[in-house]
Amino acid sequence: MGLGRKIGDYLDVRLGIRDILAQNLTRYLLPRNINAWYTLGAVLLTLFALQFATGILLLVYYNPTADEAFRSIQRIMNEVPFGWLIRTVHAVGANIIILALLMHMLSVLFMGSYKAPRELTWVAGFLLLLLSLGMCLTGYLLPWSQLSFWATTVATSSSGEIPLVGDIVLRFLRGGAMVGQPTLGRFFALHVMGFPLIFGLLVLIHLFCVRRVGISRPPFGPEWRPAEPPVAFRHEEHHGGIPFFPHYVAKDGATIAFFLALLLAVVFFAPGLFFPPASFEPADPFTTPRGIKPEWYFLWAYQTLKIFPNEFLGLAVQGIALILLLLLPFLDRSPERRPARRPLFVSVYFIGIALFIALSVWGHYS
Amino acid sequence: MQRSSRRKFLASLLGTLGAAAVGIATYPVFKYLAPSRSDERGGKVTIPRAQVGVGQARFFQFQGHPAVVLQRGPGVFAAFSAICTHLGCIVKWVPEKGEFLCPCHAGRFSSDGKVLGGPPPKPLPSIPVAISGENLLIG
């Protein structure tokens, strides 16, 4: 008897481990017409694990003080063996994660998977997206370069436009009137501890919801019919479906490999893609560099603020758009999920994507 | 039989590729975390003679480790590792007694590094000292 089987038997006698594995892997059946878009959750889990691992490694050499932060990053990039690799994977990984998060959200929207009984899964997922953007924003300041300093100055200054409490919010975000050591301290604490803790909890809630309710069936094919609104809890079963392991795990693995290849392609062949020249200069609070722009995923917000006559109006529009998205399952209550039978939603969906791209491109070139 | 051997082959191929991928990913992480030896290398340390009075000691870093130089008599200098040979605490110089004392477990060393008492098993390792004009060249 092999050692693996002995360990398996030992755990099985005490914890019934084989039954748990069978329930969640081989006997866990997914819809036969499940598609590759459903693998994005596994892709995101993998990418977040990679961010977590590289983030811990960066903490070994990173020094979160205004005097030392930039130098410690330079040291990681130029002196520590493979420091450039760890840091570039972390920085590029954040961008790939936002891309995967957007794709995940768009696929869920298109297939109407946010609808009852999966409203809570959507809310947890949307909060995860916002929290990820928060982690990107706080992480952006940490290198303490001209880019990070001034991008954070611009990003935080818009909060000062909130009526009545704007100034308090702004000072609270920055830890003072201007971006400085207090800002670095609180952004560092949020980035490495505060946000990841909330993030971990939300991931657990999201996964619990996914597993408890069951995977939604893609709304395609002639036999698909809208489900009746739920009146009691029911786990969605897929009799005659494909097992999660090994069938769907193989598909998950393929998409994960694709995203990792994309990540490594940028790291090795275009490492400067997300590092404009201002990211190689130490922060100088007295010299604003020309043409500071936020990262691509904030360009739409940046441009929105510019096209409205006052900043508060721009902020309000952004806030309303985000709240509408968060509450979408409670507003769009029809059980119909087939895109072809939701022409109004699909039109708004594509206009929304086009608007996001157009605003981003405009923001980039403005 | 044929299906089983193909499955076995694919499983072992996947296992091998997985192990190779883990190895490739582990190597940079190991190198990244491996302690740098750059501060443990290096040549001699120069200290102005005037900074070490007769019967006085001066502590300094030598190749990444604490060391001490003292002037035992006029013009007679000696340098030692300042790490106690018992459990690695840093010894201190007691000028009134003219000896080193380890504050952790009361190990005592003479001004030429020999064990006078307490638990240290070996004398303090000596470091060569040369006089070069107004400076001491240590190492």
Could you say which residues of chain A have pLDDT below 70?
A: 1
- Which residues of chain A approach chain B closer than 8 Å at the C-beta? 57, 60, 80-83, 85-86
Its domain, for residue B69, covers: 40-138
Q: How many CA atoms lie within 13 A of A198 on its CB side?
A: 15
Write down the pLDDT at residue A336.
Answer: 95
Report the helix count and the strand count for chain B, using DSSP H and E: 1, 11
Report d(CA A313, CA A311) in Å as an integer: 5
Query: Is A83–B34 a contact, with Cβ atoms under 8 angstroms apart?
Result: no
Examine the pLDDT at B1 and tell me if it is beyond 60.
no
Whether A238 maps to a domain, the answer reads no
Q: What is the tally of structural domains in chain B? A: 2
Rounded CA-CA distance A139/A50 in Å is 15
Please indicate, yes or no, whether residues B25 and B57 belong to a single structural domain of this protein.
Answer: no
pLDDT of residue A149: 95
Determine the distance in angstroms separating the CA of B25 from the nearest CA of chain A, rounded to an integer. 11
Measured between CB atoms, which of B28, B31, B33 is closest to A60?
A: B33
For residue A191, give the nearest of A69, A358, A308 by alpha carbon.
A69
Domain annotation covers residue A350:
yes
Q: Do A82 and B31 touch (CB under 8 A)?
A: yes
Same domain, yes or no: B101 and B59: yes
Mutate to test the interface with A, among B7, B14, B26, B32 (most CBs of A within 10 A): B32
Residue A3 burial class via C-beta count within 10 angstroms: exposed 0-12, middle 13-18, buried 19 and up: exposed
Same domain? For B71 and B30 the reply is no
Q: What is the pLDDT of residues A236-264, one digit of tens each?
A: 999 999 999 999 999 999 999 999 999 99
Taking CA–CA distances from B34, the nearest residue in chain A reads: A81
Give the count of Cβ contacts less than 8 A between chain A and B. 21
DSSP B29-57: HHHHHSPP-GGG----EEEEGGGS-BT-E
- Rounded-to-5 percentages of helix, strand, coil across chain A: 70, 0, 30
Q: Is A137 within a domain?
A: yes
Same domain, residue pair B49 and B30: no
Inter-chain residue contact A82 with B29, CB threshold 8 Å: yes
Question: How close is the nearest chain B Cα to the Cα of A217, in Å?
Answer: 30
Measure A351 CA to nearest chain B CA, in Å. 42
The answer on B91 and B109 residing in a single domain is: yes
Contact predicate A239/A20, CB 8 Å: no
pLDDT at A350: 98
* Contact call for A57 and B32, based on CB within 8 A: yes
CB contact under 8 A, B31 and A85: no
Asked if B64 and B131 sit in the same domain, the reply is yes
Predicted local distance difference test score (pLDDT) of residue B39: 67
The predicted structure's pLDDT at residue A319? 94
The per-residue pLDDT for range B50-89, each reduced to its tens digit, is 999 999 999 999 988 999 999 999 999 999 999 999 999 9
Q: Is A233 inside any structural domain?
A: no
Pairwise CA distance, residues A174 & A152, whole Å: 9
- CATH code of residue B58: 2.102.10.10
With CB atoms and an 8 Å threshold, state whether A57 touches B34: no
Q: For the domain that residue A91 is a member of, what is the CATH number?
A: 1.20.810.10
Looking at CA atoms only, how far is residue B61 from chain A in angstroms?
22
Percent of chain B with pLDDT over 70: 96
Same domain, residue pair B108 and B125: yes
Q: Does B1 touch chain A (CB under 8 A)?
A: no
The answer to the question of residue A2 being in a domain is: no
Q: Is A235 part of a structural domain of the chain? A: no
B31 close contact with A: CB closer than 8 A: yes
Q: Based on the structure, what is the number of domains in chain A?
A: 1
Give the Cα-Cα-Cα angle A213, A135, A270 (nearest 5 degrees).
105
> Domain check: are B102 and B78 in the same one?
yes
- Looking at residue A1, its pLDDT comes to 64
A38 in a structural domain: yes
Q: Does residue A271 or residue B36 have the better pLDDT?
A: A271
For residues B14 and B69, membership in a common domain is answered with: no
pLDDT at A198: 98
Asked if B23 and B45 sit in the same domain, the reply is no
Same domain, B89 and B67: yes
Please tell me the distance in Å from B135's CA to the nearest CA on chain A. Answer: 33
Task: Dig out the tokens for B84 from the structure.
Answer: 């106690």
Q: Does the structure show a pLDDT above 80 at B118?
A: yes
Contact B33 A86 (CB under 8 A): no
Answer for the pair A207, A201: CB distance below 8 angstroms, yes or no: no
* Domain carrying residue A174: 7-217+244-365
Percent of chain B with pLDDT over 90: 85
Residues B45 and B30 in one domain: no
